[in-house]
Chain A
Amino acid sequence: MQTLALPTYHADASNPRRAARAMADLAAGLSSWRLAWALARLDLRNRYRGSVIGPFWVTLSTAIMVVGLGLLYSTLLKQDLTVFLPHLAVSLIVWNTIANLVPEATNCLVSAEGVIRQLPLPLTTHALRCVFRNIFSAAHNLPLIVVVFLTIGRVPGVEGFLAIPGLLLLGLNAFAACIFLGMICARFRDIGQIVTNIMQLAFFMTPVIWRVELLGENAWRLYFNPFYPLLETIRGPLVDGGVSVGVWVAALGYSALLCGVAAAFFIRFRSRVAFWV
C-alpha cells in the first residue's frame, strides 16, 4: 500500500493553478458522465411523476403549436403550407429546445446547491446534467418532425445529414451556456430574470415563425442575432436543402465567443462557486 502513490489534494492560495484545476474539473466531469446521465434521467422522471403520457406532453404541446401557428401564419404571411409547415416544425422544435435550456442553465448550479456544498463534485457534472436533461426532453419531439415531413411529402435528401454537425454545435453551446449562465446567475441572482426577458424578445427577432426571405434585402442584419446562424445550421439542411458558408462561419464565430467567455469564467471563478450558491 505504501508503495502506491496516494491521491493527493493540494490547494495553495498563493499559487492557485486555476487553469490546471479547471481542466481537471472538466476531465473529471466528462469522465463521470454516467452520473450526469443518471441524474438527468431522474430529473425527467421526477418532473413527470404520476403523469400518464409523461414527457410526451412536450411532443403533444409542440404538435398543437405547429398545427395552430402553421395554419394561422401561412395565411397571414401568405405562405404555401407545404413549404411553411416543415420550416415551422423544425424551427419551433429547435427554438423550444433553446428556450427551455436557457432558463434551466441559469439555474443549473443554484439548484444543485445542496450537493455542491456537501460533496466535492466537479461543476462540469452539474452543467452536463442540465444538457443531458434537455437533450432527452428535446428527443421526444423527433417523431413530430418525421410525421410532418411524411404528411407533407417533402422528405429531405442526403443533405439532411448535414444537420448533424449543427446539432453537435448546439450541444457544445448548450454546455458552455450552462457553465457561463450557471456561474453568473449563482453570483448575481437578477441575471436569470434578465435572461428570461431577452429570450422572449429573441423569439420574435429570430426567424422561427417567419421566413428569412420576408426580410428582403435587410436579411444580412440577421447575422447580428446569434440565434439565427445556430438555428439555420440545423434547419437549412433539413428544410432548405443546405446552408450558406456565411451561416456556418457566423455560427462557429458565435460559438467560439460563447465557449471562450465560458472558459474564462470557469477558470477564474470555479473555486468560488461553493461560496456563491
Chain B
Amino acid sequence: MASIVADGLTIEFPLYHVAARSLKKRLLAKAALRVRTDESNRVVVAALRDLNFTIGRGERVALVGSNGAGKTTLLRTLAGIYEPVGGELTVKGEIGSLIDPGAGMDPDSTGRENIRLRGLYRGMDDAGIAALEADAATFSGLGEFLDVPTRGYSAGMSIRLAFAMATAMSPQILLMDEWFMAGDADFMGKAEERLASLVKGADIMVIATHDFGIVRRWCTRAIRLNAGRIVADGPVEEVLGAMEAGTPLPAPEPAKAEG
C-alpha cells in the first residue's frame, strides 16, 4: 500500500558563497533562527527541521505556509531530489511529480521532439513513448505547432505542452507544486478535468499551494509549515481556520548554535 513516512526528516542547504568572515557574521547575526554554522564551519540554512508525519493511502495533503516555509523543498525531498541530511524518509509507491513543468525541455526542439525526450527522461520504452506522444499531442491541442521548435511558442502554448506532457501519467503518489494553476481560462477547464482524474487515480497526493480554495476543494488534510517546521497538521478546516483566524505561531526556536 502506498505510504510516505518521515521520521525526524531534516534538510539543510549549505551556503557556499558566503566565505567572507564579515559577511558570514552579519548573516548569522541577522537571521540566527534558521542560519547557523555547522561542525565544519560552513553556513547552512535549515530548510526542513525534524519533520515527523505519516501519509497513508487515500490522503490528499496540502502543504501550506508562507514563502520560504519549506513547501517546495519538502516536495523535492519526497521526489528524491534532495537526500535528507538527518532523519529517515520512506516513500512506498510509484512517484509522479508535477514540480517544474519546464524541466528538461529543449527550446530548440519541436514540441513532438520534446514529448519524446520527456518519455526518455521517464525511462519509457518505444511503445510508451509513442503512447505519450499521441496523448500529449491530442491533449495540448497544438496541432501543426507541434512540429515547430518550442522556442517560438507563446507562453500559453508552452504551458499547454508542459501540462500535457507532465500529466500524461498515472502515478500512485502525486506530488504537485501550484504552478499548474496558471494558464489561460479556455485551457483551465480542460486542464482541471484532467487533473481531477489524475488525482482520483493516485493513492496519495501532496500539493504545495497558497490557494485556500484549492486546498478546500481537493484536500483532506493540511500540513502547515513555518520556517522549516510543522506547526499544524490536521483536517483542512482545522488548519486553515486557525490560519485565517490569525492564530499567532509559536515563536520559532533558535537554531542550535554550534559555530
* Chain B residue nearest in CB terms to A42: B106
Which A148-207 residues sit within 8 Å CB-CB of chain B? Answer: 187
- Chain B interface helix/strand/loop/mixed: loop
Min CB gap B43→A, angstroms: 13
Interface bits B76-90 vs A (CB < 8 Å: 1, else 0):
100111111111111
Contacts of B14 in A (CB 8 A): 275
Task: Write the chain B residue with the least CB distance to A276.
Answer: B16
Q: How large is the interface on B (under 10, 10 to 19, 20 to 34, 35 or more residues)?
A: 35 or more
Cβ contact within 8 Å between B100 and A118: yes
Complex Cα distance, B108 from A271, in Å, reads 31
A6 at the interface (CB under 8 A from B): yes
Chain B, range 1-50, C-beta contacts under 8 Å to A: 1-2, 10, 13-14, 16
Chain A, interface size: which category?
20 to 34
Is A118 a contact of B99 with CB atoms below 8 Å? yes
**B172: Cβ under 8 A from any A Cβ:** yes
Interface membership of A32, Cβ < 8 A:
yes
Query: A8 with B76: in contact, given A187-B16, A271-B83 (CB under 8 Å)?
Result: no
Would you call B120 and A13 a contact (CB within 8 A)?
Answer: no
B103 part of interface (Cβ distance < 8 Å): yes
Question: For the complex, what is the distance from the CA of A160 to the CA of B172, rounded to whole Å?
Answer: 55
Q: Are A32 and B88 in contact (CB under 8 A)?
A: no
The answer to whether A12 and B88 touch across the interface, beta carbons within 8 angstroms, is: yes
CB neighbours (8 Å) of A117 from chain B are: 76, 81
> Is the beta-carbon distance between B90 and A9 smaller than 8 angstroms?
yes
Counting from the closest, the 4 A-B pairs by CB-CB distance are A118-B103, A271-B83, A120-B80, A35-B120
Show the binding face of B for A, using Cβ within 8 Å: 1-2, 10, 13-14, 16, 76, 79-95, 97, 99-100, 103-104, 106, 108-109, 116-117, 120-121, 123, 172
